[in-house]
Chain A
Amino acid sequence: MYDNYVFLGLFLIAAISFPVLPLIVARLIRPKRPTPIKQSTYECGLEVIGDFHVQFKIQYYLYALAFVIFDIEVVFLYPWAVAYPELGMPALFAMLIFLAILAFSLVYDWRKGALEWI
């Protein structure tokens, strides 16, 4: 039953080792001579300005909120799409109603300006 997962496991190991391995290798072979300049935070080659705790704009959060709702919509859509060939027309109508209700929320978002970038 789990045979299919062997490949998944291999991929996982490969994916983890891809970033981790070079770091380990680098740690083993690199020379280590730290100076204060070298250890300072690197920010696009400029001096660091202010604290790293900047307060985000609420706009990001509004995006995330809308994203959550439509992410859930996708989760509902996927099983429907898998079952659809056997379900036929009534299922199409049912899903259209579902999507229409959620489309209202998109209209609301758009009209309220929650999707505007500032």
Chain B
Amino acid sequence: MPPEIVIPAIDVRVIAPMLTIFAWATVLLMVDLFMPGKDRKLTGYLALAGLAVTALVTLAVQPAPGTSRTSFSNMVVLDSFGTTLTLILLLIAAFSIAISINYLSYHNIEMGEYYPLILFATGGMILLGQSTNLILVFLGVELLSITLYVLTAFFYPRYTSEEAGLKYLLLGAFAAGFLIYGIALIYGGAGTLDLFEIGAFLNTSLAVGSAFPPGALLVLIGGALVLIGFCFKISLVPFHMWTPDVYEGSPTPVAAFMSVGTKGAAFAALLRILIVALLPFKIYWLPVLGVLATLTMLFGNIAALMQPNMKRMLAYSSVGHAGYITIGIMTAGTHGTESFLFYLLAYALANMGAFAVLITLERRGEMAWSVDDFAGLWKRYPLLAIAMATFMLSLAGVPPTAGFFGKFFVFAAAWEDGQIFLVFMGVLSSAIAAFFYLRVIMRMFMDEPVREVIPIFNRGLTITIGIAVVGTIVFGLLPTPLVSLVQNSVIALGVGG
């Protein structure tokens, strides 16, 4: 019997953001190819323009809160959760490019392809935030991973960059294996890859029999494997081993991009899978995520405590923050995605800012990002020291910074869900984390300089640090507009509506 030929109705608005960014990236790649001369800064500025255009397109197609549009056989959904996440991701990408433009030429690794690759990765992240089909989730993960393997190894003269790229590639391929195996098992059990249909399948099959139906069992095992695949991407303990080495070896802007962007997008996709498809299994995944979050918060922060290397310290700190975001995910079923989104934005601002400050202090041909370089910064560059102190306070979760409200919302939602142990562990690990964040501040303000470090400033770095400081403080003092934005960002739980 030949299948019926149905040309699906294509709603271009649903894929407008990623369409824009992919088209821009492809054209930019070609423009860069035929651009004369060796200076690639123009490519970077064009990439920034592309991100701005994508942001405008996203704002233009933004659906009203609570409504959603689907297209391409319900494979992608455009809901306000997706668009808010897209805007955050675009901001992260814009920061990353802004801090890269001079970094690349300064360190002698300037190549025009860098910027289209960042755009491709961002497109993959947007796709992850919007897809409601496991095939697209896999494609999104691969798109952002493959570009990041290359970007990680971009610091060609550095031996550690190659090591980082290879390490990330091997572990990423391993994680992709888990992911695709899990997806195959889910398909085998549920007979569909659509998240909504998987959820419906589980609801009906679990409602009927008293025994555990075999199809649902396959979905459960597959879901566990998918979770493991994502745990690698978001570096939850014990799947975090690659994180410090990869962050340290990769170019600093790429490390910044990875630490926030990849995590945000992968968390968003995981959130959608857990809430839309695997909600009937909440009794299974909730405790697992709780254990992972606890381990991640404790281990990430304790490991960061012992790091004299700033870049590795930030890597471990990003592992720790993944634990807090995990709590945000766990409460998303009952409290919506607001704490997740708020935390992500606060963390993005502070972390991108901290990496930007690190770049100003990074010297050509060196691979040491010692905490010592921050000693006495206050006496020589007071503004830079204040900016760094703001980021450290926000990452530590001290009021009046955005980081405080991020942690506050996450813990409040978990408290209301009765996850009291988790809140306790979160507060405890935050107290541990405060030690190493405050240590950096102490060294900046109290100590004498250990060696002469001359920061490099340029427009991109200055603007990034400026926006990050202003954002961190403004959202720390006046969180209301942001709260209303994230409260209106509702994840679509069904088709249409």
Q: Mark B31-65, 1 if CB is under 8 A from A, else 0.
A: 00110000000000000000000000000000000
| Residue ID in chain A nearest B26 by CB atoms | A104
Closest CB in chain A relative to B26 CB, distance in Å = 6
- Among A86, A108, A111, point to the contact of B5 (Cβ < 8 A): A86
Once the chains bind, are A101 and B7 in contact (CB under 8 Å)?
no
| Residue ID in chain B nearest A87 by CB atoms | B5
| Interface residue ranges of B1-46 to A (CB < 8 Å) | 2, 5, 7, 26, 29-30, 33-34
B29: which A residues are within 8 A, CB to CB?
A: 104, 108
Q: Contacts A101-B26, A104-B26; is A111 near B33 (CB within 8 Å)?
A: yes
| Residue ID in chain A nearest B27 by CB atoms | A104
- Among A87, A90, A101, A108, point to the contact of B33 (Cβ < 8 A): A108
Closest CB in chain B relative to A54 CB, distance in Å = 24
Closest CB in chain B relative to A116 CB, distance in Å = 15
The 4 lowest CB-CB distance pairs between A and B, nearest first, are A111-B33, A104-B26, A90-B7, A104-B30
Q: Mark B439-456, 1 if CB is under 8 A from A, else 0.
A: 000000000000000000
Q: Mark A74-118, 1 if CB is under 8 A from B, else 0.
A: 000000000000110010000000000100100110011000000
Q: Mark B472-484, 1 if CB is under 8 A from A, else 0.
A: 0000000000000
Can you sample 16 A-B contacts with CB below 8 Å? Answer: A86-B2, A86-B5, A87-B5, A90-B7, A101-B26, A104-B26, A104-B29, A104-B30, A107-B30, A107-B33, A108-B29, A108-B30, A108-B33, A111-B33, A111-B34, A112-B33
| Residue ID in chain B nearest A112 by CB atoms | B33
Closest CB in chain B relative to A100 CB, distance in Å = 9
| Residue ID in chain A nearest B2 by CB atoms | A86
A108-B26 Cα distance, complex, nearest whole Å:
10
A111-B5 Cα distance, complex, nearest whole Å:
41
Closest CB in chain A relative to B174 CB, distance in Å = 21
Closest CB in chain A relative to B69 CB, distance in Å = 21
Given known contacts A86-B2, A108-B30, what 14 new A-B pairs fall within 8 Å (CB)?
A86-B5, A87-B5, A90-B7, A101-B26, A104-B26, A104-B29, A104-B30, A107-B30, A107-B33, A108-B29, A108-B33, A111-B33, A111-B34, A112-B33
A107-B31 Cα distance, complex, nearest whole Å:
11
A104: which B residues are within 8 A, CB to CB?
A: 26, 29-30
A86-B4 Cα distance, complex, nearest whole Å:
11
| Residue ID in chain B nearest A86 by CB atoms | B5
A112-B29 Cα distance, complex, nearest whole Å:
12
Closest CB in chain B relative to A58 CB, distance in Å = 14
B2: which A residues are within 8 A, CB to CB?
A: 86
| Residue ID in chain A nearest B113 by CB atoms | A108
Closest CB in chain A relative to B275 CB, distance in Å = 32
Q: Mark A16-60, 1 if CB is under 8 A from B, else 0.
A: 000000000000000000000000000000000000000000000
A22-B415 Cα distance, complex, nearest whole Å:
80
A101: which B residues are within 8 A, CB to CB?
A: 26
Closest CB in chain B relative to A2 CB, distance in Å = 23
| Residue ID in chain B nearest A90 by CB atoms | B7
A87: which B residues are within 8 A, CB to CB?
A: 5
Closest CB in chain A relative to B190 CB, distance in Å = 25
Closest CB in chain B relative to A18 CB, distance in Å = 40
A104-B113 Cα distance, complex, nearest whole Å:
13
A90-B26 Cα distance, complex, nearest whole Å:
23
A87-B7 Cα distance, complex, nearest whole Å:
9
A87-B3 Cα distance, complex, nearest whole Å:
12
A112-B5 Cα distance, complex, nearest whole Å:
42
A87-B5 Cα distance, complex, nearest whole Å:
8
A86-B2 Cα distance, complex, nearest whole Å:
11
A9-B496 Cα distance, complex, nearest whole Å:
53
A102-B26 Cα distance, complex, nearest whole Å:
10
A112: which B residues are within 8 A, CB to CB?
A: 33
B33: which A residues are within 8 A, CB to CB?
A: 107-108, 111-112
B5: which A residues are within 8 A, CB to CB?
A: 86-87
A86: which B residues are within 8 A, CB to CB?
A: 2, 5
Closest CB in chain B relative to A60 CB, distance in Å = 21
B26: which A residues are within 8 A, CB to CB?
A: 101, 104
Closest CB in chain B relative to A3 CB, distance in Å = 23
A90: which B residues are within 8 A, CB to CB?
A: 7
A87-B2 Cα distance, complex, nearest whole Å:
12
| Residue ID in chain B nearest A101 by CB atoms | B26
A12-B2 Cα distance, complex, nearest whole Å:
33
Closest CB in chain B relative to A65 CB, distance in Å = 13
| Residue ID in chain B nearest A110 by CB atoms | B33
Closest CB in chain A relative to B489 CB, distance in Å = 31
A111-B26 Cα distance, complex, nearest whole Å:
15
A108-B30 Cα distance, complex, nearest whole Å:
7
Closest CB in chain B relative to A96 CB, distance in Å = 14
A112-B34 Cα distance, complex, nearest whole Å:
10
Closest CB in chain A relative to B29 CB, distance in Å = 7
Closest CB in chain B relative to A5 CB, distance in Å = 25
A46-B2 Cα distance, complex, nearest whole Å:
63
A107-B34 Cα distance, complex, nearest whole Å:
10
A101-B27 Cα distance, complex, nearest whole Å:
10
| Interface residue ranges of B45-99 to A (CB < 8 Å) | none
Closest CB in chain B relative to A57 CB, distance in Å = 19
